[in-house]
Amino acid sequence: MSDQPKGVFIDDVEFPFDDSSSILAFTDKALGDKIIPTLCNDDNLNPYGACRVCSVEVQQSEDAPKRTVASCHTPIAPGMRIYTNSESVKKLRKNIVELVLSDHPPDCLTCEVNGNCELQDVAASVGVRQIRYAKGDNHCDREKDLSHAYMRMDLSKCINCSRCVRACDEVQGQFTLTMTGRGFESRITTDNDMLFGDSSCVSCGACAQTCPTSAISDVFQSKSVEADKTVRTTCSYCGVGCNLEVAVKNDEVLSIRAPQDAVNAGHTCLKGRYAFKFYNHEDRLTSPLIRKDGVLTPCSWDEALDFIKGKFESIKQDHGPDAIAGISSARCTNEENYMFQKMIRQLVGTNNIDCCARVCHSPTAWGMQQSFGTGAGTNSTADIPLADLMIVIGANPTAAHPVTGAKIKQQAMSGATLIVIDPVRTELARMADHHLQLKPGTNVAVLNMIQYYIVEAGLLDHEFIKERCEGGEDFIEQIKELDVDAMAEISGLDKEDVKAVAIAYASANNAMEFHGLGVTEHSQGTKTVMLISNLAMMTGNLGRPGVGVNPLRGQNNVQGAADMGCQPHHGPGYLWMDQKDVQDFYEDKLGLPTPTTPGRKIPEMFDGAVDGSLKALWIFAEDVVQTDPNTHHVVKAMQGLDLLVVQEIFMSETAKMADVVLPGTTFLEKSGTFTNTERRIQQVNAAVKPLPGTKTDGQIIVEMMRKLGLDQPDFDAAEVLKEVASVVSFFEGVTWEGLAASPMGLQWPVNKKGEDTQILHIGEFKRGKGKFHYHDWKESEELTKHKNEYPFILTTSRELQHYNCATMTRRTSNVQILTKDVIMLNPRDAKAKDLISGDRATLKSDRGQVTLDVEVTDRVKKGVVRTTFHFPEVLINEVTSGVTDEETKCPEYKIVAVDVLKAS
């Protein structure tokens, strides 16, 4: 029997050995406290071992000699004896910190500006009160760089720990910061001595968050030391669902940082971390408004809500409840969405309820439901490090889902194969092993080619197809008949490139798929999603870690809005509203009548407003005039209504057309839950009170429900969540208290015991067997009709700095970083049109025209132009079409036939 010691001794106390990677990690975990001081270490970064402040004495075994090692990067071993506080290590640490301080601003130890200074804390912990050495002057005279919108660089405070450089590399993958020079001359620099604000920095703030001395700091950071509380909440920008720690003083937000124990693991993008000043911007709506004599005029809440009630009653009397509709908000909480659909369904009496999922990921929900039985992402972003191949289709995550984008970048840099299928050469496409730069509108052609080559190469997972799927044999026979030459011609791709992608994908052990709006916002969006599902099924990339079909949801709570029933055909929990037993179920649960007639989707609501069958529309936190396609049609719809109610935080383009405007609140002023793109339900906690004159959106809805006859207490997110859990089966075990105790949130389905689900479809699909579908490519009607007259294809997408129509980000310093929408034009097209970067050009389509600045770039291919839709000055949707996805009516934003004309 072995007498090998199993434990590890920390200062003579034995602890069980575990899988910790280093002495420091083991000690922190075993003691539950950080007793070893560190300077160059950050738990979010790889061990570096530069400063040696973390030195400890160790013996490999009882009889071995003691030696001094840096604990942060020395592996732990069973039987090891660690001495964390011996006289020799205490002396060593003190000497090191003294030397560091000898070349640091003289006022460091008494400096009060920066209460987040780790260096001060370390100096105190090792007992340094004064410095015995002569002051060095190598760093202390460095000039401050104040050129960045959100960060300050004061390298006089830099101690060359390289944490900022490593954060830039290892967290964001941007490589903007680097260490230059040698010895005393060594220093941090940005892109070879560019000003910080002019550099390639993407403003994620990872460097400022890790800096132990504020050599790089947030512009807001120094204020945070004054905070009287910090509130943990969930970001309201994209579907990643980053957690935020909001520092608050006197009911004002001072700064935001990213907590470590969260899905975003201490990281955010510039929107989550810095772009929060919109919440108390002077443009905020602070009074209800009613249109009187053509002018929106302030009024009381009672007057506004009574007016709506009166209009609803007369419209219901004259035209029935189906002449009224509501568009809910994927920006707002689950509880608010639940209550909004309840108001429209149970009190107004119609299924005319929809949300912006219609214009983004409704094809994902519908397509994946057909294939798997559940229209939600199958895996988690935590799986990315387990993937040895990632395929990104029609998505630009480093701009639109930046924290996930950074994880994909890191995994690609770690050696995983990266495939990008996108008409634009995105940041990920530039670093990809394979970039299929297809012609817009040919996703189905390319995915069919990939499937064809997988079959041809014999790389099918026959066991998975046989055991877990249905329709596989028929599908394989159909795909074998594909005319790959024709598809190559249609997509503009080389067959061999597509074949290489097919073989790489099907040969990978773990292939993880991500897709975005470049898949869904097409006339064949739903079909494309089904083909993506085929790919995962035919190669067995489902139901285990590091694989799956993972839609990147656009809005922060678009998953939640659909889960809560903000769709005409589905009530809360995706129950079919046309089924009698479902109607009875809701009636029984809620004690209220449930509508039985089919509801309208958003485009059908607009059509109804134009043809006169829809009389009233309540739009909750969506700016449809700016964001929905074919602006002329949308405006005509708004003008055709007898009553347009807009619940908003700013006077949006849609609010300007309203009869009643209700001032709601931002995520910083309200509580509830958001559900991110991985089905992760997370708490939103109010950091500040609602701005005077506003009400939380949930409270507005509750007050309107009272006017409509349902007496109930004030809005309370925890109470509404209880009701949601009683109605939505996959929320069964979700409680407010349970979420508060779960820093990572809970991924639905959550069972009665509160246990969540990281991976869907393990062992069996929700629908039983996964179902294969075959679909032929079909040209978009937009091109069939208009390509001769309008020979360019316009495609739209987002930039990192702005969010959607930029209602929020335009009211922050992000406008200093990105100021306008531009048209990207290939150099050959630019030459043909006599255009150079900076010129003005007009994009003209069958619906209208817009004029923008030109950027000549080979990021787009000849014949393709690309722009963003962030600025209302441009209103790019003046040119987009009314073509929609065949199944879900999701607009085809990604294909617009245009001509490009030099503007005079």
Interface residues with ligand FES (CB under 6 A) are: 38-41, 49-54, 70, 72
Residues 639 and 635: their CA atoms lie apart, in Å, by: 6
Q: Which is nearer to ligand FES, 98 or 607 (CB)?
A: 98
Is the distance from CB of 878 to CB of 847 less than 8 angstroms? yes
Closest contact distance (angstroms) between CB of 91 and ligand FES is: 16
Q: At what angle do helices 472-480 and 443-456 cross, to 10 degrees?
A: 100
Q: Residue 39 or 299: which CB sits closer to ligand FES?
A: 39
| Comparison of 48 and 586: residue with beta carbon closer to ligand FES | 48
- Closest to ligand FES by CB, 36 vs 325, is 36
Residue 212 or 672 with smaller CB distance to ligand FES: 212
Q: Minimum distance from CB of 186 to ligand FES (Å)? A: 16
Closest contact distance (angstroms) between CB of 124 and ligand FES is: 16
Asked if residues 72 and 49 have their Cβ atoms less than 8 Å apart, the reply is: yes
Tell me the Cα Rg of the chain.
29
CB of 22 to ligand FES, least distance (A): 9
Q: What are phi and psi of 392, to 5 degrees?
A: -110, 115
Terminal-residue alpha carbon distance, the chain: 90
Pairing between strand 55-59 and 81-83? antiparallel
Q: Are 166 and 207 in contact (CB under 8 A)?
A: no
Rounded Cα distance, 867 and 849, in Å: 13
- Min separation Cβ 25 and ligand FES, Å: 11
Smaller CB separation from ligand FES, 49 or 754: 49
Q: How many CB atoms lie under 10 A from the CB of residue 449?
A: 31
Q: Which is nearer to ligand FES, 49 or 827 (CB)?
A: 49
C-alpha 504/C-alpha 42 separation (Å) is 36
Q: How many residues does the chain have?
A: 904
Q: How far is the CB of 47 from ligand FES (least distance, A)?
A: 7
Nearer to ligand FES, 158 or 247 (CB): 158
Which is nearest to 619 in space by CA: 291, 345, 327, 352? 327
Residue recorded with tokens 């935080």? 649
Q: How many CB atoms lie within 10 A of CB 11?
A: 14
Q: Toward ligand FES, which CB reaches closer, 41 or 380?
A: 41
Who's near 815: CB < 8 A, 6+ residues apart?
A: 809
Tell me how far, at minimum, the Cβ of 128 lies from ligand FES, in Å.
Answer: 16
Buried b (16+ CB within 10 A) or exposed e, 598-623: ebbbbbbbbbbbbeeebbbbbbbbbb
Q: Are 409 and 173 spatial neighbours (Cβ–Cβ below 8 Å)?
A: yes
- 68 vs 597, beta carbon nearer ligand FES: 68
Nearest in space to 41 (alpha carbons), one of 170, 183, 156, 134 = 170
Whole-angstrom distance, CA of residue 267 vs CA of residue 690? 27
Distance CA 688, CA 696 (A): 11
- Supply the minimum distance, in Å, between the C-beta of residue 42 and ligand FES: 9
Q: How far is CA 663 from CA 70, 409, 522, 651, in A?
A: 56, 40, 34, 9
**Which SS3 state, helix, strand or coil, does residue 15 take?**
strand
Min dist. Cβ of residue 93 to ligand FES (A)? 10
Q: Which is nearer to ligand FES, 38 or 417 (CB)?
A: 38
Least distance between ligand FES and beta carbon 184 (Å) = 20
Work out how close the CB of 52 gets to ligand FES at its nearest, in angstroms, rounded to a whole number.
5
